[in-house]
Amino acid sequence: MAHTDGMGAAEETNAGPAGQPEGQAPGLPAEFSLALAAFARHLAAERGLSAHTVRAYLGDVGGLLAHATARGRGDLAGLDIGELRAWLADEHRAGHARATVARRAAAVRAFTAFACRRGWLAADPGSQLGAPKVSKRLPQVLGQTQMLAVLDGHDPGRGPAEAAVSLRDAAIMELLYASGIRVSELCGLDLGDLDRSRRTVRVFGKGSKERVVPVGIPAVKAVDAWLAAGRRPLTSARSGSAMFVGVRGGRIDPRTVRRVVHDRLARAGVPDTGPHGLRHTAATHLLEGGADLRSVQEILGHASLSTTQIYTHVSVERLLAAYRQAHPRA
DSSP 249: S
Mind listing the pLDDT tens digit for each residue in 246-299? 999 999 999 999 999 999 999 999 999 889 889 889 988 888 888 888 888 888
| 182 annotated active-site | yes
Helix, strand, coil percent values for the chain (each to nearest 5): 60, 5, 35
| 206 annotated active-site | yes
- In this structure, whether the domain defined by 9-128 belongs to CATH 3.50.50.60 is answered with no
What backbone phi and psi angles, to 5 degrees, belong to 249? 95, -15
Which one of 182, 231, 280, 285 is the catalytic residue? 182
Mind listing the pLDDT tens digit for each residue in 183-223? 999 999 999 999 999 899 999 877 677 888 889 999 999 99
Secondary-structure class of domain 144-326 per CATH: mainly alpha
| 57 annotated active-site | no
Which one of 85, 103, 211, 276 is the catalytic residue? 276
Q: What pLDDT sits at residue 98?
A: 84
- Evaluate whether 115 touches 290 at the Cβ level (below 8 Å): no
Q: What pLDDT sits at residue 57?
A: 93
| 280 annotated active-site | no
Domain-by-domain residue ranges, the chain?
9-128, 144-326
| 313 annotated active-site | no
Mind listing the pLDDT tens digit for each residue in 8-67? 333 333 444 544 334 445 678 889 999 999 999 999 888 877 788 889 999 999 999 999
| 276 annotated active-site | yes
Which one of 67, 206, 211, 251 is the catalytic residue? 206
Q: How confident is the model at residue 130 (pLDDT cuts 50, 70, 90)?
A: confident
Task: Report the distance separating Cα 226 and Cα 171, nearest Å.
Answer: 7
pTM of the predicted protein model: 0.63
Q: What pLDDT sits at residue 86?
A: 92
Q: What pLDDT sits at residue 220?
A: 95
